[in-house]
Structures are given as C-alpha cells and as structure tokens.
Amino acid sequence: SSMAELHVRSVLVTGANRGIGLGLVKHFLQFRNPPERIFAACRDPKGEKAQELQQLASKHPSLVIIQLEVTDPTSIQAAAASVTEHLKGSGLNLLINNAGIVKWNSLDTETREEMSAVYDSNTIGPLLVSQAFLPLLKKAAQGSPTSELSCSRAAIINMSSSAGSVEEVYLWDLGQIISYRCSKAALNMLTKCQSLGYREHGILCAALHPGWVQTDMGTSSGLKPPLTMDVSVQGMLKVLCSLSEKDTGTFLNWEGKVVPW
C-alpha cells in the first residue's frame, strides 16, 4: 500500500481513544513497517471511553497508552517525561495534535465559559503540548540522515478544520459553532507561527482538515457526515507521506488540497 511510505520510528497522537485519533492509531498499527513506538494519548486511559484502545494495546506491544489532558500543564509535563523514558534516548518523529472539543453554540448562546473551554482544548492545548515535546522532536530532527523537512524526520501536525477557514466558513448553515470556528482559526495561526519558529530545528508543521467525518463529534450535529473514518484517515496519512519543505506552514485537507485561510 502507498501508506508504507511514511517511515516514522515514533508517533504520538492526542485524543487517541476515539474518533480520528483512534482511527490514526489503528492505521499506524496496520502499516507494513509500523512505527516502533505509537504513543496513544488520552484523558482517561483506564476509563470506559478508552476500552477499545486498551484492547489494542494488549495485542500490540508497540502501542503505549499515555495519560494526557491537554488543558492541564502538569499532565502535559508528566506525559512528556513518560514518553522520553519510553524512547530511551531517541527522539519523537511525529506529534499529531488531534484532541479537540466542540460546543454547539450560536452567536446568541456562546458564553465566556464555553468559549474559554474550547480555546483551552483546541488552541492552547496544541501550543503547550508542542512546547513540551519540542526537545524530543528536535532530537529526532538532529538524528535524521536527511536535512530535508518531512514527517519521517520530525513534524507537528495540528488537526484543524475548514470550519475555521475565514474564507470558507465550512458548513455555516449546519451550525454557527462560534467558539470552535474561532479556536481553529487561531490554531491555524499557531501552526503558521510554529512552522516559522521551528523550521531552523528541522521540524515541519502543518494544519490538516480531515473532512466532515462519521465520528461522535462529526455526528453530534444530528446529521450523517459524508466521509467514513477510513477514507479520511487513509487520505491524511497519504498527505503526511508527501509533505516536504514547501508544505511547512500550510493548511491542507485529507486529499492534499490547499484550504484557504
């Protein structure tokens, strides 16, 4: 399969207990040359919502479940320390900031509390998680035989959404979801800033729109999204394979097409 092109020794996915995060973990496990270490990070690894992840981990020694609440700096530091220990001196090739939440509020119903909570998870979370794992990403980049930017070397991939595209305002008629849209627009700017700040360290940064996918979050609108998990995840992994120097700081969808800011 074309998926085998993505050679990563280690990957960490946040929000990995369900939805797209879990889909990514499953696909990494199915690679012909799977990563030596797949870190599946989630809020409550022992909880009911992580059962499928636990079952996978019991079958696959390469899969390590990490407790990580992206809104809690102490949890983030502990997760980084744990991953560092597991990697035994090697770096982390790929960080996928996938954890995120949505609150179905309109302009009229949006509140300070809900907007803050959404920003906390969707924008500040990826910032702090990237900060905490930066030393491991730098280490992977330094240890790479190539000087070209790629996901196989070192990369931060932020799971964004066309809902946060100022030009597209994707699915506006379906829901205003103001805080979600604002948080993703801000995440896009964070991605651009990271791409500029981390380029010198050999780390590629990009934002991805997975499409409107049939997940718990995707179906919370009450409608059936058009994309299956497999189509979205396979597409995104294919995109990750192809990313190079020219793609750092870009916003792409699951088909590799540029999404307008």
Band (5; pLDDT cuts 50, 70, 90): low
| Contact yes or no for 130/95 (Cβ under 8 A) | yes
Q: Is the pLDDT of residue 3 over 70?
A: no
Helix (H, G, I), strand (E, B) or coil at 79: helix
- Burial annotation 213-226 (CB, 10 A radius, 16+ → b, else e): bbbebbeeeeeebe
Q: Is the pLDDT of residue 4 over 80?
A: no
The arithmetic mean of pLDDT across residues 116-126, rounded, is: 98
Instruction: Give the ranges where the chain is alpha helix by DSSP (H).
Output: 19-30, 51-59, 73-87, 112-119, 125-142, 178-198, 216-219, 229-242
The arithmetic mean of pLDDT across residues 208-218, rounded, is: 93
Question: In the chain, what percentage of residues exceed pLDDT 90?
Answer: 93
The arithmetic mean of pLDDT across residues 180-209, rounded, is: 98
| Contact yes or no for 154/142 (Cβ under 8 A) | no
Rounded Cα distance, 4 and 234, in Å: 11
Q: Which helix (H) or strand (E) holds 10?
A: strand 10-13
| Contact yes or no for 3/237 (Cβ under 8 A) | yes
Q: What phi-psi label fits residue 256: left (phi over 0), alpha (psi between -120 and 50 degrees) or beta?
A: left
| Contact yes or no for 112/126 (Cβ under 8 A) | no
| Contact yes or no for 152/7 (Cβ under 8 A) | yes
The tokens describing 157, both together, are: 């991939």
Q: Which helix (H) or strand (E) holds 241?
A: helix 229-242
| Contact yes or no for 190/128 (Cβ under 8 A) | no
Give the position of tokens 């929000």: 15
Domains of the chain: 10-253 (3.40.50.720)
Q: What are phi and psi of 6, to 5 degrees?
A: -80, 100
Which residues, 6 or more positions from 123, have their beta carbon under 8 angstroms from its beta carbon? 183, 186, 187, 190
Which residues, 6 or more positions from 203, have their beta carbon under 8 angstroms from its beta carbon? 134, 137, 138, 141, 149, 154, 155, 156, 194
| Contact yes or no for 13/151 (Cβ under 8 A) | no
- pLDDT score, position 217: 85
Q: What is the pLDDT of residues 57-72, one digit of tens each?
A: 999 999 999 999 999 9
| Contact yes or no for 64/40 (Cβ under 8 A) | yes
Q: Is the pLDDT of residue 149 over 70?
A: yes
Rounded Cα distance, 256 and 240, in Å: 9
